[in-house]
Amino acid sequence: MLVDDEPAAIQFLSTIIDKKCPDFVVAHTAADGQEAIEMLQNSIVDVILFDINMPILNGLELSEKIHHAQLPVQMVAVSGYSEFEYARQALKNGVLDYLLKPIVPNEVVKVLDCLKDKLDQLYYQERIQIVRKLYHDITVPDSVVARYFGEQTFYVALVRYNGLPVRFSTMNSKEIFSEIYETIFSFGRDDRENLYIFPAGLVIENQFRNMLQLRVERDTTIEGYHTIVYHSKPVESKNMNDTIKQLYRILNNQIVLGENRTVDICRDKDVDFELDETEKNLFAEYQYCLTKRDSRKAKERMLKLLEVWNQNKRSLLWIERRIRSMSLSIDQLNEKNFDNRYIENENALEEIFANSQDFKQLKSGIDEIIHQLSDEEWQEDVMDTPEFVEKVCDYMKKNLDQPLSMLSIGKEFGISQTYLGKLFRKHKQVTLNNFLTAARMEKAKELMAQNEEIMIKDLAERLGYKDQFYFSRVFRSYTGVCPSDYVANVSTSERK
């Protein structure tokens, strides 16, 4: 927005911006501060350039009103040399810069170039906050979504690698989000998930599904399976609220153990949750065993139900909720050590449903947990020591370029992934997966400090990442800066 009581001045600035500042457009003009304030109430404006000396409401008064109203707009004052003291006062009201008359076109370009960098960072952070709120089912006004995602349309998709997200034991978990310069915005609750927002202009007609599949193949760094839930029609920014919430809701009901699935929410039906006769009968037998306080037979029925649910392709979330409830009921048959086991069982179940790649792994993990319930005692052994856990950590650190997983590490040391997860939570107060990612990021920092010329692509490969862009996202989530900025900071520190 340009604000000046001289039409010639507005025309001059408009021409400069139109010809020399391609990232900006003059959306509104006003002849005085009062008119500008009224227009700002119902307009999307990123930058306002205003003259200090205007009638009705001058530039200094305008900046005070904008500052006190906390309007999301960057302010630039325009003043003559004789009015410089007014411009200095305006800086106290949040004005970021000023232009001196007579205006020099190159000075306008410099000021707006600096503001563009600031606005890019602002938009980037606001988009992350918007998506984070939508995930937590917090309504974001349509006007806010439109402001930071633009008045355009988007294709939206949600991808989950392997099992369920960790929701309860959030030990050192990190969100993963796209780099600031990426055209396709992405956000994940952890490094096994991506919510993609594709500007519709990037998508060839009717090719979104194919483009999405290629993106998933490029971004995945984890062995196993994936679930894709997407909206096959472009969505206006004002409708992103409802669309993203719908994607998250449907994803939770569509993850089926070991299956690559692609679901178009515009076409595919949601999952049926009704029990069939076999499931009803087995569940009735399980409940009868509970009434008889027969924990052994209750466990047998529980594992049989697990097999039937897997055959019937029940969603992983659906199964998890029932297994949690059933294991708790079995554990309550014997109150001895119940409180000590409850939290550990909950955490162990969460890791099993997050990391199992097939039914064999899932059943083995659940079997291990339920045979520790009720009349069985927790058993301590020689592996339950800080020294053994450090041995596992050393092994991981020496093999960071390999596709490590809880299963492969467990096999290497001859223990189950359930027990391995328990050891890490007990002795490291962190999940194994988060420890592994953190170890990779620390190694990345070490390698960059040793060799400032190292290529990001080579660095990613040395740390087990197939895609350098995905590695950069993970690195930023752990350090707060992208790899190139980190190298620059290291180089500057060394010169000092």
CB atoms within 10 A of CB 163: 26
The pLDDT score that the predictor gives to residue 439 is 93
Beta strands in 87-225 (DSSP E): 95-100, 153-161, 176-177, 185-188, 193-199
* 197: Cβ contacts below 8 Å, ≥ 6 apart: 131, 149, 154, 155, 156, 184, 185, 186, 240
The pLDDT score that the predictor gives to residue 492 is 62
The pLDDT score that the predictor gives to residue 141 is 85
Where is pLDDT greater, at 131 or 35?
35
Residue 421: which region, alpha, beta or left (left: phi > 0; alpha: psi -120 to 50)? alpha
Confidence of residue 347 (pLDDT cuts 50, 70, 90): confident
In the chain, the domains with their CATH numbers are 2-103 (3.40.50.2300), 149-264 (3.30.70), 277-370 (no CATH), 386-495 (1.10.10.60)
User: Looking up tokens 């596992």, which residue turns up?
Assistant: 392
Confidence of residue 272 (pLDDT cuts 50, 70, 90): low
Residue 92 has pLDDT above 90, yes or no: no
Q: Tell me the per-residue pLDDT of 189-224, one tens digit each, with 9 for 90 and over.
A: 888 888 999 988 888 878 899 988 888 877 766 678
Residue 385 has pLDDT above 80, yes or no: yes
Q: How is residue 23 written in tokens?
A: 């990232």
Any idea what DSSP says for residue 200?
Answer: G
- Bridge-partner residues for 161, per DSSP? 226
Over the chain, what is the mean pLDDT?
Answer: 85
Of 49-53, 109-113, 263-267, 430-434, the range with the lowest mean pLDDT is 430-434
Segment 469-479 mean pLDDT? 86
Confidence of residue 278 (pLDDT cuts 50, 70, 90): very high
Strands ordered across the beta sheet of 74-79: 29-30, 2-3, 47-51, 74-79, 95-100
Omega of the bond leading into 102 within 30 degrees of 0 (cis)? yes
The pLDDT score that the predictor gives to residue 374 is 46
- What is the C-alpha to C-alpha distance for residues 233 and 200, in angstroms, rounded to an integer? 9
Q: How is residue 327 written in tokens?
A: 């294991």
Q: What angle do CA 211, 214, 218 make, to 5 degrees?
A: 140
Tell me the pairing of strands 153-161 and 226-236: antiparallel
The pLDDT score that the predictor gives to residue 178 is 82
Confidence of residue 340 (pLDDT cuts 50, 70, 90): low
Closest CA to 246 of 270, 220, 216: 270
Segment 44-48 mean pLDDT? 93
- What is the C-alpha to C-alpha distance for residues 340 and 331, in angstroms, rounded to an integer? 11
DSSP 57-88: S-HHHHHHHHHHHT-S-EEEEEE-GGGHHHHH
- Of the spans 104-118, 177-191, 421-435, which averages the highest pLDDT? 104-118
Residue 376 has pLDDT above 50, yes or no: no
Which helix or strand (DSSP H or E) is residue 262 part of?
strand 261-264
Whether 231 and 332 have beta carbons less than 8 Å apart is answered as no
Segment 259-273 mean pLDDT? 81
Segment 338-357 mean pLDDT? 76
Confidence of residue 252 (pLDDT cuts 50, 70, 90): confident
Residue 49 has pLDDT above 90, yes or no: yes
- What is the C-alpha to C-alpha distance for residues 158 and 196, in angstroms, rounded to an integer? 6
Q: What percentage of the chain exceeds 70 in pLDDT? A: 89
The pLDDT score that the predictor gives to residue 114 is 92
Confidence of residue 377 (pLDDT cuts 50, 70, 90): very low
Of 71-75, 338-342, 457-461, 466-470, the range with the lowest mean pLDDT is 338-342
Residue 378 has pLDDT above 70, yes or no: no
Q: Tell me the per-residue pLDDT of 419-472, one tens digit each, with 9 for 90 and over.
A: 888 888 889 888 888 899 999 999 999 999 888 888 988 999 899 887 788 888
The pLDDT score that the predictor gives to residue 142 is 81
Confidence of residue 380 (pLDDT cuts 50, 70, 90): very low
- Using CA atoms, how far residue 434 sits from 116, 123, 174, 192, in Å, is 35, 29, 8, 11
The pLDDT score that the predictor gives to residue 185 is 87
Residue 373 has pLDDT above 60, yes or no: no
